[in-house]
Structure 1
Amino acid sequence: MLNNFARQIANALDLPAVPSIDVLGSESLPSYFAVSDLACASIGMATAMVADWRALKTATAETITIDRRLASKWFDMTIRPQGWVLPNIWDPLAGDYETRDGWIRLHTNATHHRKAALAVLGKHETREDLRPVVQAWNALELEEAIVSANGCAATMRSRSAWQSHAQGKAVAREPIIDWKLHGTTTLKTPAINPARPLSGVRVLDLTRVLAGPVAGRFLAAYGADVLRIDPPGWDEGAVIPEVTLGKRCAGLDLRNTEDRKIFEDLIAGADILLHGYRPDALPDLGYDSKALRAINPTLIDVTLSAYGWTGPWAKRRGFDSLVQMSCGIAAWGQQHANAIKPVALPVQALDHATGYLMAASAVRAMILRTQTGKITTARHSLARTAHILDQSASPKLQGRFAAETPADSDPTYESTSWGPARRIRFPATISGISHAWHHRAGALRRDDAIWTKD
């Protein structure tokens, strides 16, 4: 499936041929889907785009190598705290619950999503208290009630049920990357540092858990100035040390007049905007596509949604674990494992793969802007990434993966805001250059909302 995934992604990027990517190793994460193949293909294609960008300066074809074991591990948490402990990544109420007629997953990590679920189900503090309440509901009715309350929930559907569902059909018709042309600009030769290919590229990161932050982290590895912006009060717990690596992190309230002016100055100076807001969120704040391009006509806009850009669920809130329930992945795992409850992927592969696809499309858009003058938006969705992975469904558990050893981690210690840490070795190599993150993983809203000087 690796070559099939790579070919589909190359076609989505509108490449003349599939880049040559050397893959080392043969281990695979145990799954009923080809998760490790998707990891190698998505990380490999993002790396290939950085090499192509560099080649605009060097005119040389670089050798790209992906370590299959490490790529699989980079689809999961990569940070290994030394002498301190990450908080629990999940809220105590989040997870799968049996209903009167099936299974449902509640996503309550964000405070407002937890409040929405409890507004429907009543005030509860533990899963044990909540379980009998959920069990009294019909799954579809509870899903609709929580979604209508602006919460996040997903009924477990089979693959065939999703394929016949209106949203499943809509997603299947969408491209892997939905490109939109927004005009043209005067061609100019970019200043590319071959040692740090993305140095000087400014990325404004408005994304949250988890796909968008993965994209920004990858771009930062090759020199991009990634500035993450969060609203007041937002927190992501254990995910923050994972995805703030290489980024500066600032805070703005876009309902505040002065902060809006700062935001518009940042947009004016950005090359790339990463965001994962639902389709109407930025327009509701006064920043639709027309407004953004009035501020910066050459802005490259890379965005994602959970359930796609067309169909009845286009504006529905969602996360990787919910999409796995909706599109049949969890049901397929349960069925073929003969399990008593849903069986998810071994990692949040939809998030991670989509993140690397976003990084790939961001760099590809810069290449197009440089070579043709075209200014583009690239839209992605977790559900469309799930559609790629669904093609690899197997009735048998595939793959074996050895236990982690110290050799899997980088030997150097990383200084974070919380203490020292080690990190799983980076899986991608471009011959002639090395990756590096110039900003440590740290707390949100710790930096000024300004671009660094070139």
Structure 2
Amino acid sequence: MIAKPKCGMLLSFHEEALMPQQSPNTILSRCLSALGLTDEAFERLRITGTDSLLSCFPVTDLAVASIGAAGLAVADLMAALEQTVRVEADRRLASLWFDFTIAPQGWELPNAWDAIAGDYAARDGWIKLHTNAPHHKKAVLSVLGCAPERDAVAAAVAGLSAQELETVIVAAGGCAAVLRSHSEWQEHPQGRAVIAEPLVRWEEVNSNNPSEWRPSADRPLAGLRVLDLTRVLAGPVATRFLAGFGAEVLRIDPPDWDEPAVVPDVTLGKRCAQLDLRRQFDREVFEHLLSEADVLVHGYRRDALDAMGYGSAARQTIRPGLIDVSLNAYGHSGPWANRRGFDSLVQLSSGIAAAGMVWRSADRPVSLPVQALDHATGYLMAAAVIRGVRARLSGSTQLKARLSLARTAELLFAARGEPTTADFSPAASTDYASDPEITPWGLARRLQPPLQLSTCAMHWDRPAQKLGSAHARWGEGLVGGSA
């Protein structure tokens, strides 16, 4: 028997289904405001197409707004060269870029989800278990004390309290989220903390170390050194965007880390190296890389870099004037600020999956059609990087930005309109670039860019790469290959 939500939970879900509707332009306006771009930027953005992903939330509007905002940040940067740049975003392509952008030819991507990851009915509601990383899976199984099989996990969860299970799994180092309504989230201590945060939290960093880097007309971010300490999925989306306009992105992972299902999708345009920051030699290499970087983008939990000796102050000491953009799943304040989290978990915590459940008249959580929180936050992170670059060029000290998946979720609730009624057709051959991409896994086709600038093309200088395929150096070629 499927466990039903409590009556109180059903009532609050129903109330959310009747919430007031607002204009879809709310999302773009709020993005521009958070980035310090005026509403006049609207005039430089043209949106084409009418397609919309099927959802009770304006997911395609979020895609167009976040990608468009990043494009408008590039356009504003080009004003430093006295160029007037027009930006065009396509609704269909923006929607498709919120999912997988690569189509393997003659090979397949691994399954993105672990066999036991997903939603489970507990004694008093629903809980999502995120077990894609081996150590997260081990933590869940250690708590449940069952075999790593879906039926065994379902049986173990069924007799337990969802909220108690969430608490114990998180304490064990795992990842889980209870299904909450948005009203419940608004009353939760973490929900209140997140809602009180700005969409982009800016902090000033005092520095007298200006950069010699300047944008160029044909490749706006060419030569900009971006050190990438991010994992699935928002951070890699951010740095992929930056690479699309010429930034030199060097991604660093620990030697034992892999993301086989998403690496071919998100490493486009980057070089990928490995360092073990528990080893002194690798720490010295990392500090040298950081000292020569223009930008650091990181998606570790708030306290993780601090624990390794690379807190905010230490990073600025190593590289004065560093543009520092970070991501947290559950916000940067409140009791869950250091909690592990992913897009799918935040959707359950924040009320998105509960609203979808009401919309579909379903008996289980209904998430968004794509991991929209990850992707939207990623493009906003990229925009924040570019705004940081612009500020440094103008002599401003505003060089640090913080974003979160949970805060991005509030964008969807703030601009929720009528559910879309037409199905969104899958990617077709015409949505892809004509030239194949030669990857280490085989030939592939890549979606056409979702963004067009009037003065330059968005494109990537190298295909996707495997993690650890490059030297941990700026400007070096690939190990065993060529860029």
TM-score, normalised relative to structure 2: 0.91
The CA distance in 2 between the partners of 1:343 and 1:389, in whole Å, is 15
Equivalent pairs, count: 453
CA 269–383 in structure 1, closer or farther in 2 if over 3 Å, else same: same
2:374 corresponds to: 351
Gaps of 5+ in 1: none
Does the Cα contact within 8 Å between 1:94 and 1:105 map onto a contact in 2? Answer: yes
Alignment of 1:122-161 (within 5 A): 122-161=145-184
CA 397–139 in structure 1, closer or farther in 2 if over 3 Å, else same: farther
CA 18–339 in structure 1, closer or farther in 2 if over 3 Å, else same: farther
Amino acid at match of 1:340: D
1:28 corresponds to: 52
Q: Does 1:100 align with 2:90?
A: no
Q: Does 1:252 align with 2:275?
A: yes
2:251 corresponds to: 228
Cα deviation per residue 1:18-55 (whole Å; 9 max; x = unaligned)? 41310000110000000000000000010111122222
Alignment of 1:294-443 (within 5 A): 294-394=317-417, 396-443=419-466
User: Offset at 1:69?
Assistant: 0.2
User: Offset at 1:186?
Assistant: 5.6
1:410 aligned counterpart, secondary structure:
coil
The CA distance in 2 between the partners of 1:160 and 1:202, in whole Å, is 43
Does the Cα contact within 8 Å between 1:220 and 1:247 map onto a contact in 2? Answer: yes
Q: Does 1:11 align with 2:45?
A: no
User: Offset at 1:110?
Assistant: 0.5
1:273 aligned counterpart, secondary structure:
strand
Cα deviation per residue 1:247-303 (whole Å; 9 max; x = unaligned)? 000000001000000000000010110001111110110111111111111101000
* Mean Cα deviation higher: 189-198 or 37-46: 189-198
Query: Percent identity, aligned pairs only?
Result: 51
1:238 aligned counterpart, secondary structure:
coil
The one of 72, 88, 100 aligned to 1:65: 88
The CA distance in 1 between the partners of 2:340 and 2:472, in whole Å, is 28
User: Offset at 1:403?
Assistant: 3.6
Amino acid at match of 1:38: L
1:372 aligned counterpart, secondary structure:
coil
Does the Cα contact within 8 Å between 1:32 and 1:398 map onto a contact in 2? Answer: no
Does the Cα contact within 8 Å between 1:243 and 1:441 map onto a contact in 2? Answer: yes
Alignment of 1:202-217 (within 5 A): 202-217=225-240
Amino acid at match of 2:54: P
CA 191–260 in structure 1, closer or farther in 2 if over 3 Å, else same: same
2:310 corresponds to: 287
User: Offset at 1:418?
Assistant: 0.3
Amino acid at match of 1:114: K
User: Offset at 1:324?
Assistant: 0.1
The CA distance in 2 between the partners of 1:81 and 1:11, in whole Å, is 39
Deviation >6 Å, runs of 4+? none
1:250 aligned counterpart, secondary structure:
strand
Amino acid at match of 2:38: P
2:252 aligned counterpart, secondary structure:
strand
Gaps of 5+ in 2: 1-22, 478-483
The CA distance in 1 between the partners of 2:211 and 2:54, in whole Å, is 47
The CA distance in 2 between the partners of 1:399 and 1:61, in whole Å, is 37
CA 414–230 in structure 1, closer or farther in 2 if over 3 Å, else same: same
1:276 corresponds to: 299
Cα deviation per residue 1:105-130 (whole Å; 9 max; x = unaligned)? 00000111001101101142221221
The one of 64, 74, 78 aligned to 1:40: 64
Amino acid at match of 1:362: V
The CA distance in 2 between the partners of 1:90 and 1:174, in whole Å, is 31
User: Offset at 1:346?
Assistant: 0.3
The CA distance in 2 between the partners of 1:202 and 1:375, in whole Å, is 18
1:177 corresponds to: 200
Cα deviation per residue 1:43-74 (whole Å; 9 max; x = unaligned)? 001011112222212x1211100011000000
Q: What root-mean-square deviation, in Å, do the aligned CA atoms of Structure 1 and Structure 2 show?
A: 1.5
The CA distance in 1 between the partners of 2:403 and 2:133, in whole Å, is 22
